């Protein structure tokens, strides 16, 4: 077994959670007192308001305590959701609306004469403040993780193939905060090698076989153990390993065979003493479909209203730059492989489609995509609007007509869909989107396989909160111009 100096677990997580807790307290107090001041002023008139003077301070104190309790009840400080994903934001929003919903029920049930304007101010102020504070701390944490700080040291246990797979996935996402420090392999592989070669050329130290995991944790200073081949290890060995790690302040993670499925679709239920993983079907109908449609319609209408002057200016610029129409439309495949006409601002010369065959040798696209970094068909104005994705603004009309969504998989061409296999075809289970995980994760710089994986991950784990996070990240991706050509 390979030996190494023992490294004590870092206390960064405890400090980070403490900072979040104090920030929550400050934000909630500031929101409640701000709402009180805006609604009642600095010297409330007791005779005019049912809640005023000393009484409003009592109500404010109760609201602050109830709000903080709700944040804890909804486990918004659970370290498993901190720093990545939309679940942290979703729990914060659920806690905020739950506490105000409960207070509304109490007010009605007890027939209390309470100022509605006071609560109507406190809820949005506090919710927005909590989300902004969580986002700010998360951005700081992500920057630190990308520099190698504030990470969880992970020892991966499993067969070489599965270990290499998870190592490569984690290495591509350093913002998740998992740093693989070593591996434990089957006896035959552990005795034959000291290192495991990952796909990026790095060597992962091998600390022994499955029976050496507790010693490997002590030797490597691991704070997490990730098991990738539970079946190969065996049920009794898995149980013994969980017992061994209990007293070592080390968490155990087990990677299921199903990838890119997470969130509420997964539930573990014990059956005959065995923990079975239940995976629900993706739910795109009913209330989920209505909520997504409402977000699309309201969001698209609001953006169109605000961006109307910009749309007119871009159309005029395109007409002045080159002859031809300001808009370009092409057939794309939508929900359940139904074709529709997608609208964009024209960013290429009028006969661009006819010139495509002459540029096949210069194709830099991934998989079925056709992309050229310095495409000679792009006009001067076209290069500018592509850099900031302004050419896609007319797709808002497609969203209003129901053919597209604000967030979803990339809308494919008919010839692309003809090349899809059964796995890739699952992208067509939801409406294509103006933006998506592919847009905020590299755009045209992504490989075909990575683009497909991101789209499938979106399809399998869709939620309103995830859509809101993607829309927020899209604004940053557009401004950074990465992968846009």
Percentage of residues of the chain with pLDDT beyond 70 = 81
Listed in order, the ranges of the chain carrying CATH 3.40.50.1980 are: 152-255
Which position has the higher pLDDT, 445 or 95? 95
CATH architecture of 152-255: 3-Layer(aba) Sandwich (3.40)
Per-residue pLDDT tens for 152-204?
A: 899 999 888 888 888 888 887 888 888 899 988 888 777 777 888 776 667 88
- Whether 37 shows a pLDDT value over 90: the answer reads no
Q: pLDDT at position 199, please? A: 66
Per-residue pLDDT tens for 424-477?
A: 777 777 889 998 887 777 655 667 677 777 887 787 777 788 888 888 888 776
- Whether 65 shows a pLDDT value over 70: the answer reads yes
Per-residue pLDDT tens for 202-235?
A: 788 889 888 888 899 988 888 899 888 777 777 7
CA distance 7 to 219: 8
36-45, 95-104, 179-188, 395-404, range with the lowest pLDDT = 36-45
Q: pLDDT at position 446, please? A: 66
């Amino acid at each position: 077994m390979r030996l190494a100096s023992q490294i004590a677990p870092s206390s960064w997580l405890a400090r980070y959670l403490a900072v979040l807790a104090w920030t929550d307290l400050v934000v909630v107090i500031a929101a409640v007192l701000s709402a009180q001041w805006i609604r009642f002023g600095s010297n409330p008139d007791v005779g005019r308001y049912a809640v005023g003077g000393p009484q409003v301070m009592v109500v404010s104190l109760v609201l602050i305590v109830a709000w903080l309790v709700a944040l804890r009840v909804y486990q918004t400080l659970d370290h498993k959701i901190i720093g990545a994903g939309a679940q942290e934001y979703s729990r914060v929003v659920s806690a905020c609306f739950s506490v105000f919903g409960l207070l509304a029920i109490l007010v009605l049930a007890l027939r209390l004469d309470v100022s509605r304007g006071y609560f109507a101010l406190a809820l949005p102020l506090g919710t927005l403040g909590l989300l902004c504070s969580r986002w700010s701390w998360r951005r700081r944490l992500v920057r630190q993780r990308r520099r190698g700080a504030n990470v969880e040291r992970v020892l991966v246990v499993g067969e070489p193939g599965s270990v290499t797979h998870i190592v490569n996935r984690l290495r591509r996402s350093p913002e998740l905060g998992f740093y693989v420090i070593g591996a434990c392999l089957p006896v035959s592989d552990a005795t034959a090698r000291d290192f495991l070669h990952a796909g990026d050329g790095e060597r992962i130290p091998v600390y022994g076989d499955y029976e050496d995991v507790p010693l490997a944790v002590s030797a490597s200073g691991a704070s997490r153990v990730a098991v990738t081949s539970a079946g190969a290890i065996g049920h009794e060995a898995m149980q013994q390993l969980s017992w061994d790690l209990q007293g070592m302040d080390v968490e155990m993670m087990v990677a299921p065979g199903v990838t890119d499925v997470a969130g509420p679709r997964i539930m573990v239920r014990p059956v005959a003493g065995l923990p079975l993983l239940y995976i629900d079907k993706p739910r795109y109908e009913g209330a989920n479909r209505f909520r997504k449609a409402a977000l699309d319609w309201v969001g698209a209408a609001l953006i169109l209203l605000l961006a109307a002057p910009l749309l007119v200016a871009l159309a005029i610029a395109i007409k002045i730059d080159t002859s031809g129409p300001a808009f370009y439309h092409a057939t794309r495949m939508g929900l359940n492989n139904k074709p529709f006409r997608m609208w964009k601002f024209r960013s290429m010369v009028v006969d661009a489609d006819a010139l495509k065959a002459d540029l096949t040798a210069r194709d830099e696209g991934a998989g079925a995509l056709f992309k050229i970094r310095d495409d000679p068909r792009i006009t001067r104005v076209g290069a500018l609007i592509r850099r900031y994705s302004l050419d896609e603004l007319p797709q808002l009309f497609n969203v209003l007509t129901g053919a597209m969504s604000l967030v979803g998989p990339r809308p494919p061409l008919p010839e692309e869909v003809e090349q899809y296999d059964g796995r890739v075809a699952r992208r067509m289970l939801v409406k294509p989107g103006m933006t998506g995980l592919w847009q905020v994760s590299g755009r045209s710089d992504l490989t075909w396989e990575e683009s497909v994986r991101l789209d499938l991950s979106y399809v399998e784990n869709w939620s309103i909160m995830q859509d809101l996070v993607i829309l927020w990240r899209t604004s940053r991706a557009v401004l950074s111009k990465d992968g846009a050509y």
